[in-house]
Amino acid sequence: MMDHLANTEINSQRIAAVENCFGASGQPLALPGRVLLGEGILTKECRKKPKPRIFFLFNDILVYGSIVINKRKYNSQHIIPLEDVTLETLPDTLQMKNRWMIKTSKKSFVVSAASLTERKEWISHLEECIKHLLTKTGRQPCTEHAAPWIPDKATDICMRCTQTKFSTLTRRHHCRKCGFVVCADCSRQRFLMPRLSPKPLRVCNLCYRQLLAEKKKEAEVDQRQMGPIRSAVQGYEPSSGDDSDKSDDEKAEQWPADTEFYTSEVSWSSFHS
């Protein structure tokens, strides 16, 4: 189906329509060989409460955004490379049904469909695209994923100290490593996680200690691996045929030393064939 739709006029028109809906705030989506396979409204579990989001499935990326006017105007465009995506089916809750998690190295989040059939369609098409893309590129499935943020309303107290109660004055924060809802005292540290951001991110005290321990362990491994190399360099002696008039000391100096929004009336999906 992907090869059949690639470079066709109808596919180009569909992609152009999506670009027009996002307007200047969105990135260009048309590329040679890129195919728009399906689209639909899913409920995304956000930090404050679940919200409807428009999703577009291409053969190599997943695009989603906020709905301003359905089928006419969207904003807050997000583009996710499918080769970075892993899916996980989740059980229903009282507030959300037909849920699954979209996991990537930079961001993971939960979405839900209006029906079980719709969820099966989305997961089936996503898995087919991911498998096809990984086979084409020869890459292995991603194994490291960002933790999804636990919604604010999931807890009224800090999930680390279990003492601090959140209020209008006592803000909720999220650890970027584990996704827990924590208080300011339990998340004063910052840690550089290049996979997520070029800047140090807020982490809870427990994750901070774990990250420091991992960093220390990696440094020790690197030091052990460099040991034999340093020894070989320090033990190097030039041959007697070297006619340089510099002393051995001078020669040695030359060597250098990381809630609720479940409304079936607005949720729909369609996959192009």
| Model confidence pLDDT, tens digit, residues 137-177 | 888 888 888 999 999 988 999 999 999 999 999 999 999 99
Where is pLDDT greater, at 230 or 16?
Answer: 16
Do 88 and 103 form a contact (C-beta atoms < 8 A)?
A: yes
* Distance, CA of 168 to CA of 171 (rounded, Å): 7
Q: Which long-range contacts does 73-80 make (Cβ < 8 Å, 24+ apart)? A: 73/21, 73/23, 74/21, 74/22, 74/26, 75/22, 75/23, 75/25, 75/26, 76/25, 77/22, 77/25, 77/26, 77/27, 79/27, 80/104, 80/107
* Distance, CA of 158 to CA of 145 (rounded, Å): 24
Position 223 scores a pLDDT of: 82
| 256 pLDDT higher than 60 | no
Residues in the chain: 273
Q: Average pLDDT, stretch 225-248?
A: 50
| 249 pLDDT higher than 80 | no
| One-letter identity of residue 132 | H
Q: What band does 273 get if pLDDT is binned at 50, 70 and 90?
A: low
Position 238 scores a pLDDT of: 41
Q: What band does 210 get if pLDDT is binned at 50, 70 and 90?
A: very high
Q: Render pLDDT for 41-97 as a digit per residue (tens, 0 to 9).
A: 999 999 889 999 999 999 999 999 999 999 899 999 999 999 999 999 999 988 899
| 262 pLDDT higher than 70 | no
Do 65 and 76 form a contact (C-beta atoms < 8 A)?
A: yes
Share of the chain above pLDDT 70, in %: 82
Position 246 scores a pLDDT of: 42
- pTM beyond 0.95: no
Do 193 and 147 form a contact (C-beta atoms < 8 A)?
A: no
* Distance, CA of 184 to CA of 133 (rounded, Å): 42
Burial class of residue 105, CB neighbours in 10 A (0-12, 13-18, 19+): middle
Position 190 scores a pLDDT of: 95
Q: What is the largest CA-CA distance in the chain?
A: 88
Position 205 scores a pLDDT of: 95
* Distance, CA of 234 to CA of 156 (rounded, Å): 60
Where is pLDDT greater, at 165 or 4?
Answer: 165
Q: What band does 232 get if pLDDT is binned at 50, 70 and 90?
A: low
Q: What band does 269 get if pLDDT is binned at 50, 70 and 90?
A: low
Both tokens of 219, joined, read 């440094």
Q: Render pLDDT for 15-49 as a digit per residue (tens, 0 to 9).
A: 999 999 999 999 999 999 999 999 999 999 998 89
Q: Which of 19, 136, 15 is nearest to 77 (CA)?
A: 19
CA distances from 185 to 33, 35, 158, 216 (A): 50, 48, 10, 24
Q: Average pLDDT, stretch 192-198?
A: 88
Q: Which domains does the chain have, with CATH numbers?
A: 9-145 (2.30.29.30), 149-220 (3.30.40.10)
Task: Count CA atoms within 13 Å of residue 7 on its CB side.
Answer: 3
CA distances from 221 to 32, 132, 210, 232, 258 (A): 45, 37, 17, 18, 14
